[in-house]
Amino acid sequence: MNAKTTSGQPPSDALSRHIDSACARVAPTWPLDRFIAVNPYWGWLSQPIESAAGALGTLAGSRLTLPRSWFQAEWAAGRLSPDDLRLAADRAVAPTLDCAGSSADPASRAAQVESLVQEMERAVALGAADSPATCRLSLMTDLRDGFGFPRPGLSWSELVTHQISQHCAAYFDEQQAAWGMDPAEGLYGTWRRQLALDYGLPWQKGRADLSERVADLPASPRECIGWALRQLGITQEGQEAYLSAVIFSVSGWAAWCAYLRWQARLGTTAMPDDDHIEQLLAIRLSWEGLLHNDAPAGAVPAGWAAQWSHAGAAAEGLVTEQRVDWLLQHAIEIADQQRVIGGLTHAGPAAWADAAVAQPIVQALFCIDVRSEVFRRALEAADAGVQTRGFAGFFGLPIAYQPLGGALLRPQLPGLLAPTMSVTESLADGAMAHSGVPLAQALASRRQSALRWRERWASFKAAPSSGFSFVESLGLLYGGKLLGSTLASGAVPERWEDAGLPEGAAAQLRPTLPLADHDVSAAAALAHGILTAMGLVRDFSPLVLLAGHGSQSANNPHACGLDCGACGGQSGEVNARVLADLVNRPAVRAQLAGLGIAVPDSTHFLPGLHNTTTDDLTLFDTEAAPESLAGAVQALKRALATAGSAARAERAGSLGLGKKADNPAALHQALRERANDWSQVRPEWGLADNASFIVAPRTRTRHRQLAGRSFLHDYDHRLDPDSKVLTLIMTAPMVVTNWINLQYHASTVDNQRYGSGNKLLHNVVGGQLGVFEGNGGDLRIGLPLQSLHDGERLRHTPLRLSVYIEAPQAAIQGVVQAHAVVHDLVVNGWLHLFSIDPASGTVAQYWKGNWTSSGGADGAMWADAPRQRAAHAMEVAPASERV
Amino acid sequence: MALAVSPISTLPLWHAALVLAPALAFGVAALCVARCSGTESAWRTARGTALAGIALALLGLLLVAAGYEGAGFGQRADPLGAVVTLLVAFVGWVIVRYSEHYLHGEPRELHYVRWLLVTLATVFVVLATNHVLVLALAWMATSLALHHLLVFFSERPAAVMAAHKKFIVARLADLCMAGVVALLYVAFGTLNMDELFVAAAAQPQWPVSAHAAVLLLAVAALLKCAQLPFHGWLIQVMEAPTPVSALLHAGIVNLGGFVLIRFAPLVAQAPSAQVLLVVAGASTAVLAALVMTTRISVKVMLAWSTCAQMGFMLMQCGLGAWDVALLHLLAHSLYKAHAFLSAGGVVQRNAVARLAGAQTPAGWGATLLGMSVGVFMVMLAGSAWTALVPGALASPALWVLAGIVALALVPLVNGQALVRAGWRLPALALGAFAVAFTYFGLHVLSSAWLQVPERAPITAMWVLVAVAFLGLFLLQSLIHTAPRSALAQRLYPWFYGGLFLDEKFSGIAMRAWPPVRPTAPPVLTAVPVRTLSASISGASA
């Protein structure tokens, strides 16, 4: 906690700073229709992860590691070995950069290591018995609950959360309720108004008393925060800690407000900034103030307000208690890193040279997503003429997509960026309807009309005075719908984006970038940037497959979470098709050649979509491929089908379909049915168990069974002498993979705050804002339990991401030092950064400012020690038998 | 119209056994599942039983349709029982199939299967029995078995609270049913329904006890159907897994309606009960429908919708429109089961709505035009049916309900829609006509088949209903056309707060019978423990 204030400054400035820093702690959450992964600890990045954990424990009651009982089980299962503990201890006592020269006494270091190892061994032996209790400083609501509940069975904490949460939902909702409040007065203003009119609140002195008190609250949120702090007697030293704790008590809606702020600051909204999060803080703090002023004698202990000034010390105390937890966490990460490092090191330069000779017939670009790894491996095995590469699945296009005639404009890029151009749909041949109107325009207006009728029908169904008659006259038809949904079907459902289009029209539409028509040189510059970032600047194959990915699930509020995160939680189809269209245009190619990338005329880019639920890979716009490549396209289709079968067989066990792994047709059918099953809560495992991000040429990882746990980004440092591409990779995809990794991590270690609980209880709020678990409570963010756990065991092992980059260490270090975000991520322990030496394959970790050898050709310490461990088998075992 | 209650024939043993067979099958299956150690075999048993249930129910319905009706060995075979049994069997099958994947991996999966089967078994008993006491006991057992499903997440305080609220309301209803049993026996000397109905029809002047019994029956139905102000539990049991909500909303909460229709020959002779049903049902329908439009989460919106729909169904019972009430019960069950089970798809459905973009609300002129078109279409459809089947649409209640259909059609045929329709105008008019025509058609069919006594309702009642729904329509149109108007904004906090009825009821009920709260999760009670206290004292020292 940095709650220090300079006494010379006027208090209002200090308070403003405290408000800002408390609000800045909250990471955003995206709505369900563009549900992408977010690192929920993003606001803590500038602190070491251990200190952030101490503060989060003290202020929010959250943990960042699993309980010790889990480590105990891993230890017992042999997945955590004495060697791992020793290495973790060794790293912990390693000297930092500052004192690297004056190397400490080796004997005392050995003793320190020994004592840390013993401490860890004691912790895993005792397991849960010795875990420090969860604790956080009490808020006023907690104190009041200690003195009795407002209503039998309902605590003040729950009541306050419920009241605020329901209000936020009603205020932010634009979709669910047909009758809403007038939001003109803002979140805080409407809250005051509604609270004063709430006849249902159990206020001891009656509603009139509460109304009066609410009327007396300051009109501006900032003033209200000041008022409440004065009432509560929180001094300046404690304000930041207290305000943080208060905002964490409504962390779900705070994350929603943080999203609005994020969007405003990205520049995607009309306003330059957004202060809803402050208003939310004022609301929650008003409750604290109201409850304080109404508290019975003795409910507030004398030192309560003062405790906040010592929150920093309390957090430090927690850090000390959790030291062994972090050592264990690091040890289990080391155990996993060693398996990966062993594989990377052994794929030596010989393999590289080998692959460089063979000229592939197809270059297939996949998203870096961990799910691509399984399919890529299978595809390479299916056809030796296919070379696969990894790149972020939005293919570098900063676009938003607008379906033809639709009012929706949907970003198709990572949440870190704002779209700068939009993509529309056009008909392949620009045909004209009879009346001379372009066919696309005619189609758009037909669609608008169809969609309007749909809406009219929906209001017939839902309007209060229509619902009764609707049910009576047409309700029986739902018997057929129930039957249809219950019986399994393997049919591929229509895309919702095609709703309202006449039969067959969707197949003729193609997403295109208007820029490519209007400004060829700008389009070519865009293509040049993308191809350069991909490292795809020479040696083009006849066919280049651009494979986006998307998931298929039914009745799933979190469906977008399974889609391509790099495409903003959407299917990557649009991006793949747009880029293919762009680089296939002769005009663009002509300009590209001028810019230094010569795409041969014989090369064709082919878009596709990898369905990650069924492992079907569909090709689009194949009719645009030249005749000469028809044979190659057919061969590719066959290879894709074979690869799909192999990938499905590999995944079958983890989906409980192990019995069908040997029967490709039955397995395929089972997965297609699963994808359509409205009762399926685990359509696929998404990015569960992700653990590493490997930035290297594919030759480095080819033939390695990475079990769908690695993000793979192709990178050839020889093409990037000035580290431009490296900088891009480390500031964008690496951050995105960190977001994904820590979303899974946080949802696993603290599902209560950073996960969305049980899907069985999910109740979508505001049509898209998020979910409640059950009736109400706070808005739930993060991943559902079913995405992390299969009912018997965790499917996601919470390991911080290990990033391996094949590049000169100086180049990597240069990026770390030049970019604050990258620096914070690495130095503060939010991820592990390794370099792979391009020549020798030696792996070293950037640790405390030094490059510390982590094995490799000469790395006796790490990789080559023969280790008797059950987990070693994991490298080859199918996913089903892991963990 | 005179009441035609004639003695019905006696069922042979095999037929009585067939009527009871679904209940027995589910009961036996529940026992088997209790012995199962693995979830796979438990689900297999449940799936098989559910399929058998549909087959048995279908057979029962076919027999009834072929004219094999009657009562005997404590069971009843009649159209009402047979059709609702098929409904429950079908919904039960859907829910079993859905739950198998949905609950996969839950720690208490077996517990769930067992109580799901028990709950369904008790519902089948309610539907099959010819005995009032058995019905009352089975109905109570349904609620007790369901309780185990409602507290499936027994560690969640909110789940326990909602189930407890339901428990209180259900026990009140049970008390009413105990009164019904006792008073009916006192009044008519028998508890067998077939004999009871004949005895009641034979007595032109009922004793007070008989009137009191039917009034209590209506009260029990109102309680079990979650009518205002006893609706809170229905709204709050979203704390149970989604298929439990579907089962509750599609197969259990409407048993109140079923029981009333079952006792139609008695209710039709008890004006006090009719008045109660119409007043309570209509006000719940109108108010809950408005509250529904303010809800911000999909499941809670559906729950308020059920509350309103149940009110509408009970109101129809009170108006003596029994066949329409049954139709409502069946159609609503299917609709609501689907709505709950597919609630997760709302995100995608809303995306399609955003594709369409914001629609400008229709103005008053357009709305009034729509009203007249709606009324015209309903009149046309009504005349068509009257021409086809003379006398089928005699009751004023039916015309009031048809008027409600006319208002319902407004979103489809308002001025805005008509202008936009262009060349589709005839299709639109035909569509509106078809809805009205279907509505009357279903009534004609079901009344012919159900053969429940139909009587003209008390005039004041149908006038009241007409006024209530016209009021609802006007208010809704006001909110729709001018959502920011002073009146809409003034009313909003009230409807958003659910008129604060549940808070008042809970305050009283929970004080009278406090719930036992599960140990709260640590986050809610966390107070500084040793680390914090140590470091704080260290820091301040």
Cβ(A456)–Cβ(B412) below 8 Å: yes
Q: Considering only CB atoms, which chain A residues are within 8 Å of B325?
A: none
Give yes or no for a cis peptide into B229 (omega within 30° of 0).
Answer: yes
Instruction: Give phi and psi for A79, each to the nearest 5.
Output: -90, -5
**A448 in reach of chain B (CB within 8 A):** yes
Interface test with B, best of A318, A409, A465 (most B CBs within 10 A): A465
Q: Which of residues 474-513 of A touch B (CB under 8 A)?
A: 474-476, 478-479, 481-483, 485-486, 496-497, 499-500
B111: contact with A, CB 8 A cutoff: no
- The minimal CB distance from A407 to the residues B90, B355, B407 is found for B355
Q: How far is A385 from A376, CA to CA, in rounded Å? A: 13
pLDDT in tens, A78-120: 999 999 999 999 999 987 765 544 456 778 889 999 999 999 9
Q: State the pLDDT at residue A75.
A: 93
**Which segment of A352-361, A470-479, A761-770, B82-91 scores lowest on mean pLDDT?**
A352-361
pLDDT in tens, A657-674: 999 999 999 999 999 999
**Mean pLDDT value across residues A125-145:** 80
Which residues contact residue A591 at a Cβ distance below 8 angstroms, ignoring those fewer than 6 apart?
A520, A521, A523, A524
Question: pLDDT, tens digit, for every residue of B464-500?
Answer: 999 999 999 999 988 888 888 899 999 999 999 999 9
Asked whether the beta carbons of B505 and B232 are under 8 A apart, the reply is yes
Cβ(B330)–Cβ(B83) below 8 Å: yes
Burial class (CB within 10 angstroms; exposed 0-12, middle 13-18, buried 19+) of A665: exposed
Give the residue from B222, B308, B101 showing the smallest Cα distance to A675: B101
Tell me whether B517 touches chain A (CB under 8 Å). yes
Q: Do A464 and B238 touch (CB under 8 A)?
A: no
Selecting from B483, B500, B522 the residue whose C-beta is nearest the C-beta of A200 gives: B500
Interchain pair B356, A500: CB under 8 A? yes
Average pLDDT rounded to a whole number, residues A54-63: 93
Question: Taking a contact as any Cβ pair under 8 Å apart, which residues of chain B between 347 and 376 contact chain A?
Answer: 347-348, 350-359
Token duo for residue B368? 């009034």
User: SS3 for B414-439, per residue?
Assistant: CHHHHHHHHHHHHHHHHHHHHHHHHH
Q: What does the alpha-carbon distance between residue A119 and residue A133 come to, in Å, rounded to a whole number?
A: 18
CA distance A249 to chain B (A): 10
Whether the Cβ atoms of residue A30 and residue A413 lie closer than 8 Å to each other: no
- Which residue is closest to B163 within chain A, CA to CA? A153
Q: What is the pLDDT of residue B452?
A: 66
Considering only CB atoms, which chain A residues are within 8 Å of B242?
A: 760-762
Residues of B (5-34) whose Cβ lies below 8 Å from A: none
Report the candidate in A386, A343, A341, A349 with the shortest Cα–Cα distance to residue A697: A349
pLDDT in tens, A431-463: 555 555 678 888 888 888 888 888 888 888 888
Candidate from A375-379, A511-515, A680-684, A875-879 with smallest mean pLDDT = A875-879
Q: Measure CB to CB from residue A467 to each of B305, B324, B352 and give the nearest one.
A: B305
- Mean pLDDT (chain A) is 89
Looking at residue A152, its pLDDT comes to: 83
B35 Cα to chain A: minimum distance (Å)? 21
**Start-to-end Cα distance in chain A:** 37
Model pLDDT, residue A866: 36
pLDDT digit string, tens, across residues A185-241: 999 999 999 999 888 888 888 889 999 999 999 999 999 999 999 999 999 999 999
Amino acid B454: pLDDT: 65
B329 close contact with A: CB closer than 8 A: no
Alpha-carbon distance of B76 to B192, in angstroms, equals 10
B 429-488 → A contacts, CB under 8 A: 435-436, 438-439, 442, 469, 472-473, 476, 479-480, 483-484, 488
> Token digits for A226?
């000041």
Interface test with A, best of B291, B296, B476, B506 (most A CBs within 10 A): B296
pLDDT(A861) > 50: no
pLDDT at residue A530 greater than cutoff 90: yes
Q: What does the pLDDT read at residue A434?
A: 56
Please tell me chain A's helix, strand, coil percentages from 3-state DSSP, rounded to the nearest 5: 55, 10, 35
Partners of A423 in beta bridges: A401
A792 contact residues in B (CB cutoff 8 A): 105
Question: Cβ B514–A152 below 8 Å, yes or no?
Answer: yes
Neighbours of B357 (CB within 10 A): 14
Q: Is it the case that residue A880 has pLDDT exceeding 60? A: no
Verify whether the Cβ–Cβ distance A786 to B355 is below 8 Å: no
Express as a percent the part of chain A with pLDDT over 70. Answer: 91
Q: How far apart are CA A258 and CA A27, in angstroms?
A: 6
Q: Please, what's the b/e burial string for A297-312 (b: 16 or more CB within 10 A of its CB; e: otherwise)? A: eebbeeebbbbbbbbb
* Arithmetic mean of pLDDT, A837-859: 80
Number of CB pairs, chain A paired with chain B, less than 8 A apart:
402
Distance of residue B207 Cα from the nearest chain A Cα, in angstroms: 37
Give the separation between CA A451 and CA B116, rounded to whole angstroms. Answer: 40
In the sheet that holds A604-611, the strands lie side by side as A386-390, A362-366, A543-550, A604-611, A616-619
Residue A588 contacts by C-beta under 8 Å, 6 or more apart in sequence?
A516, A520, A523, A524, A527, A582
Q: State residue A506's pLDDT score.
A: 86
pLDDT reported for residue A401: 95
Look at A158 and B524 and tell me if their CB atoms are within 8 Å: yes
What residues of B are in contact with residue A302 (Cβ under 8 Å)?
none
* Range in A277-286, A747-756, B196-205, B352-361 the model is least confident about: B352-361
**Residues 6+ away with beta carbon under 8 Å from B254:** B225, B310, B313, B329, B332, B333
Q: Specify the pLDDT at position A344.
A: 81
Q: Which pLDDT does position A877 carry in this prediction?
A: 35
- A136 vs B contacts (CB less than 8 Å): 523, 526, 528
pLDDT band at A858, cuts 50/70/90? very low
Q: Which two tokens stand for residue A72?
A: 């105990």
Total length of chain A: 883
Cα–Cα distance for residue pair A450/B371, rounded to 1 Å: 23
- Does A881 have pLDDT greater than 60? no
Q: What is the pTM of this model?
A: 0.93
Residues 561-590 of A with CB under 8 A from B: none
Q: What averages of pLDDT result for each successive group of 10 residues across chain B (541 residues)?
A: 59 94 96 88 95 97 92 92 96 97 93 96 96 97 96 91 93 96 95 93 90 96 94 92 94 94 92 95 96 95 95 94 92 96 94 85 84 88 86 78 87 78 78 86 81 73 90 90 89 92 87 78 34 38 31
Q: Which two tokens stand for residue A804?
A: 């391996």
- Residue B269 contacts A, CB cutoff 8 Å: no
Q: Does A250 touch chain B (CB under 8 A)?
A: no
- Structure confidence by residue, pLDDT tens digits, B221-244: 999 999 999 999 999 989 999 999
Query: A226: exposed, middle or buried (C-beta count within 10 Å: 0-12, 13-18, 19+)?
Result: buried
Nearest CA in chain B to A498: B352
Spatial CA neighbour of B132 closest among B50, B54, B85, B189: B189
Q: What are the Cα distances from residue A472, in Å, to A462, A507, A796, B338, B402?
A: 13, 38, 47, 15, 11
